[in-house]
């Protein structure tokens, strides 16, 4: 509740800071300080300090899982702002508004991570989506950005319509919006409930870009300004995933035999399409868009397995994926050429940046001693122990091997190719230090994943 209120308040503060303050550095510092405050009040709530109790009639419930997840989200956003907030200035003139929209999105994520009622789920998803449409089209003079925004808006509102239809059908079957009430079994299962559940599943699958609902993702991620792609592909995606797992854990646990196979098929399709298509990309930005689809496939394994194991796995996966991808994007934003060739000879020009980028790529590929390995391990372990289907974890393993090929293409370009043009890259020392700290965190989580997971219980 602390973070929910503060994030909405910070959004308003950022809106007005753009009018009152003229210096962009001051606006940026307010945003970063606000982000730290958000993280702090959320950690305080984990320790039992709640500033303001609002009776939501049980529609919102902040449990340990939601709070820890929010902490990861806020921490990732803090890193994202320290690394990339400076680059937002280049997108357009409305600097303070971009930051305000980011705070509003965080408010939406705080809602969907803790919903107990489908109304709150809908509200949260919309609070996340609408600012994203604006951020995608924020590069107003760029035609690709406009196209991406329109495409995202049309498809996004269509899937929102599906979600509303699903919620309406479920209400028709059960007479309640509360997930606990929906989960209760009394008498024969109404076909309305199953139809509603499927519609909800598909619209959630759209929001996290699970195949076959992924077609918007490459275009939107490619067209959006790279700073905002970084935010969309990491923090927002992870935030919607917690809603996904919460919905199926609390709302439809009793219907498991009905949806388990469908989720398994969606997972397999996502893993296959995301990984295979990523191999053929020429632009690193587009490759990362497909990689985000592939990673969504791994995260979907946690919905499939649906056990305490898989919840731990999702926490770890969200952290590992967010940190590594934010790091790669922070470097990518600084590049002038987004193709694989743009990375040629990068290791000679910027040895430190190349080294940390390598660590992030290794983490995404799931190489041991990085957080990504532990995350993939937890996911596949959960899928192995909690299912009758053995082919799914095996497919996930094979696809993890396929993903190595396109992640390593960047490493190969950086270390084993000669550059034809001199580097024009300029980075501040603060950027370097933050990036090194981020890489250290990725390695640390890879060795001691319990540093994070212990928070779930103590």
- What is the binding site for another protein (CB under 8 A)? 8, 12, 15-16, 19, 55, 188-192, 194-195, 198, 258, 262
Beta bridge partners of 60: 115
- Picking from 35, 43, 49, the residue whose alpha carbon sits closest to that of residue 6 is 35
For 143-191, the DSSP string reads HHHHHHHHHHHHHHHHHHHHHHHHHHHHHHHHS--BHHHHH---SSPPH
**Dist CA 195 CA 165 (whole Å):** 10
Instruction: Tell the smallest beta-carbon distance from residue 165 to another protein (Å).
Output: 14
| DSSP letter (8 states) at residue 340 | G
Closer CB to another protein, residue 55 or residue 418? 55
Closer CB to another protein, residue 59 or residue 323? 59
Coil, strand or helix: which one is 339? strand
Angle at 237 between CA 163 and CA 165, to 5 degrees: 0
Closer CB to another protein, residue 119 or residue 198? 198
Instruction: Tell the smallest beta-carbon distance from residue 55 to another protein (Å).
Output: 7
Angle at 197 between CA 195 and CA 202, to 5 degrees: 95
Instruction: Tell the smallest beta-carbon distance from residue 318 to another protein (Å).
Output: 29
**Dist CA 353 CA 269 (whole Å):** 34
**Dist CA 426 CA 56 (whole Å):** 49
Q: Residue 353 is inside which H or E element, if any?
A: helix 351-365
Closer CB to another protein, residue 24 or residue 258? 258
Closer CB to another protein, residue 189 or residue 402? 189
Question: Encoding tokens for residue 233?
Answer: 């592909």
Question: Encoding tokens for residue 199?
Answer: 């519609």
Instruction: Tell the smallest beta-carbon distance from residue 11 to another protein (Å).
Output: 10
Instruction: Tell the smallest beta-carbon distance from residue 401 to another protein (Å).
Output: 32
**Dist CA 192 CA 298 (whole Å):** 30
Question: Encoding tokens for residue 397?
Answer: 């393993």
Instruction: Tell the smallest beta-carbon distance from residue 194 to another protein (Å).
Output: 5
**Dist CA 376 CA 407 (whole Å):** 16
Closer CB to another protein, residue 15 or residue 37? 15
Beta strand spans in 228-327 (E): none
**Dist CA 64 CA 57 (whole Å):** 19
* Cβ count within 10 A of residue 438: 21
Closer CB to another protein, residue 15 or residue 276? 15
Closer CB to another protein, residue 150 or residue 189? 189
- The label of the residue with tokens 């919309």 reads 126
Closer CB to another protein, residue 162 or residue 359? 162
* Cβ count within 10 A of residue 188: 6
Closer CB to another protein, residue 167 or residue 435? 167
């Amino acid at each position: 509740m602390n973070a929910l209120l503060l994030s909405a308040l910070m959004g308003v503060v950022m809106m007005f800071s753009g009018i009152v303050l003229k210096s962009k550095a001051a606006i940026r510092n307010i945003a970063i300080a606000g982000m730290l405050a958000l993280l702090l009040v959320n950690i305080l709530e984990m320790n039992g300090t709640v500033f303001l109790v609002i009776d939501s009639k049980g529609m919102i419930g902040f449990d340990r899982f939601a709070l820890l997840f929010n902490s990861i989200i806020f921490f990732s956003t803090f890193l994202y702002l320290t690394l990339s907030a400076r680059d937002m200035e280049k997108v357009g003139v409305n600097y303070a508004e971009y930051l305000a929209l980011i705070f509003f999105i965080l408010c939406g994520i705080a809602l969907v991570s803790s919903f107990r009622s489908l109304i709150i789920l809908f509200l949260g998803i919309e609070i996340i989506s609408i600012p994203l449409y604006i951020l995608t089209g924020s590069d107003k003079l760029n035609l690709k950005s406009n196209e991406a925004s329109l495409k995202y808006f049309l498809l996004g509102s269509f899937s929102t319509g599906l979600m509303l239809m699903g919620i309406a059908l479920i209400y028709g079957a059960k007479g309640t919006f509360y997930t606990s009430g929906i989960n209760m079994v009394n008498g024969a299962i109404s076909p309305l409930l199953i139809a509603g559940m499927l519609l909800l599943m598909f619209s959630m699958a759209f929001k996290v870009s699970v195949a076959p609902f992924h077609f918007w993702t490459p275009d939107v991620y490619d067209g959006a300004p790279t700073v905002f792609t970084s935010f969309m592909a990491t923090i927002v995606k992870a935030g919607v995933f917690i809603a996904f797992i919460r919905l199926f854990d609390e709302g439809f646990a009793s219907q498991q035999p009905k949806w388990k196979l469908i989720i398994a098929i969606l997972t397999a399709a996502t893993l296959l399409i995301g990984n295979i298509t990523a191999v053929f990309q020429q632009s690193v930005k587009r490759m990362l868009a497909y990689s985000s689809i592939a990673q969504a496939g791994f995260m979907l394994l946690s919905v499939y397995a649906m056990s305490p194991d898989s919840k731990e796995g999702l926490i770890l996966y969200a952290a590992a994926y967010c940190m590594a991808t934010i790091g790669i994007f922070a470097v990518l934003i600084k590049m002038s050429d987004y193709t694989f060739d743009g990375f040629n000879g990068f290791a000679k020009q910027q040895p430190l940046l190349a080294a940390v980028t390598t660590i992030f790529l290794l983490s995404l590929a799931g190489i041991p001693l990085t957080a990504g390995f532990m995350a993939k391990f937890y996911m596949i372990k959960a899928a192995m122990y909690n299912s009758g289907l053995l082919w799914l974890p095996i497919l996930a393993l094979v696809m993890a091997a396929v993903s190595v090929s396109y992640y390593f293409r960047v490493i190969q370009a950086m270390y084993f190719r000669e550059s034809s043009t001199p580097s024009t890259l300029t980075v501040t020392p603060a950027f370097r230090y933050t990036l090194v700290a981020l890489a250290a965190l990725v390695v640390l989580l890879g060795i001691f994943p319990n540093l994070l997971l212990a928070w779930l219980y103590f």
